[in-house]
Amino acid sequence: MKIQLPYGNGCVFANVPDGNLAGVLEPNELPAVEDFGLAVGEALDHPIGGEDRVKLSDITRPGDSVVIIVNDITRITPTEKLLPPLVTHLNKIGILDSDIKIVFATGSHRKHTDDEQRMLIGGEIYDRIFCIDHDPDCCRRVGVTSRGTPIEIFTPVLDGDVVICTGSIEFHYYAGYSGGLKSLLPGVSSLASIRKNHALMIHPDSVSGRTYSPVRQDIEEGTRGISKFILNAVLNGRKEIVAVVSGDPVEAHRAGAIYVDQMYRIQAELADIVVASPGGMPKDINLYQSQKALENAKNIVKDGGTIILVAECLEGLGNAVYEQWLNIPREELLPRLKSGFELGGHKAVLTSLLAKRANLHLVSTIPDDLAKKAYFTPEDTVQSALDAAILRHGANARVLVMPHGGLTCPTTSPPQ
């Protein structure tokens, strides 16, 4: 069977023998909303959760300064579709354009160019509303969580009277789900806050699809008082909006997560070989982002099996610390992370641990020597990688394919 896999802005193909193909784990896609502007408006008019289903008009008054947090370029959130109806909604309740500020939640990622900011939010909004990238060196402490995470938030966000978190909800390999208050932590937090929160990823409950992930629980404990309102979209594999939720940062987020489960929590049997694409750009912009698909794929590969990651990675590894940690001897990685968590180093640790359990192959633009340092066997094509894996595991090897591995959360047990 000829299989198509997203790769950058295009796709690549591989022929999987019918006798070996155990399945293609495609999402159970929901249809796109007919009118995304109307869907956003409906969500804003009918918020979820809170004691009295609080609307923006209940917490915002004319003259208030409103901060809207939006995702950065590494996320697939259709911000350019969410913002126009949101800004219109704010205008209708008396908030002027001059009282609105858009903050890009870059977290620990690089800053944007002006053209990238314009592309992400659309030219009309870019020309009307003041925009700024997050700066992790310009944060103010507002508290500490019960798990010891310092809550240090970008000062311009804290200076706003009302903070609205926008984003999209999908599975996240250690926070359970993306979206919600994750816009605040790590989105607009200091590196100290991000490191302490991310250190919780080594907890066994910090896995994809769990709202009780210690990482997410820490996020919500520390930031819920900063923002009282979210506007989140849920997308299908074609990056179309299938649902929009707004309202209480926790309750609305959980309502959105239900749509994610419907589409992407898929039951499957363990396989000898798993072929996974993160889903194309921007999910495979670098190996740092692409590794999320690897974490999903590991749920269904047998011990001693093979995972073939198909990710273009035009920006290479995507993180300097990640690359530095690849120079550390494998046996020292986990003890070092436990003794002093360093953002970026965790990617090296997670991949090194998985490489002990399964063979990892990488089809990408990353130089071979760097791929090898990152615990992968570099491959020129998906087909060559697949043929070699079948030869390794035998003529009866079972192959599972994940075209949208960054979204899909396979499980060997029925959905909970």
Instruction: Give the span between the Cα atoms of 157 and 190, in whole angstroms.
Output: 12
* DSSP bridge partners of 274: 307, 400
pLDDT band of residue 233 (cuts 50, 70, 90) is very high
Q: Where are the beta strands (DSSP E) in 106-212?
A: 130-133, 139-144, 150-154, 162-168, 171-172, 176-177
Query: Which residue is listed with tokens 């310092």?
Result: 150
DSSP per-residue string spanning 364-404: SSS-HHHHHHTT-EEES-HHHHHHHHHHHH-TT--EEEETT
Sheet architecture: strand order including 100-105: 130-133, 100-105, 66-71, 162-168, 229-235, 241-247
Q: Where are the domains of the chain?
A: 2-25+268-411, 36-263
Per-residue pLDDT tens over the stretch 273-297: 999 999 999 899 999 999 989 989 9
- Provide the sign of the torsion angle of the four alpha carbons 393, 395, 400, 403, taken in this order: positive
CATH class of 36-263: alpha beta
DSSP 127: H
> Is 60 exceeded by the pLDDT of residue 410?
yes
* DSSP bridge partners of 131: 102
pTM for this predicted structure:
0.81
pLDDT band of residue 415 (cuts 50, 70, 90) is very low
Average pLDDT over residues 122-132: 96
Poorest-pLDDT segment among 2-16, 199-213, 217-231: 199-213
Instruction: Give the span between the Cα atoms of 220 and 253, in whole angstroms.
Output: 11
**Spatial contact of 317 and 285, defined as CB atoms under 8 Å apart:** no
**Spatial contact of 259 and 49, defined as CB atoms under 8 Å apart:** no
Write the CATH number of the domain with boundaries 2-25+268-411.
Answer: 3.90.226.30
Quickly count helices (H) and strands (E) in the chain: 15, 20
CA atoms within 13 A on the CB side of 224: 14
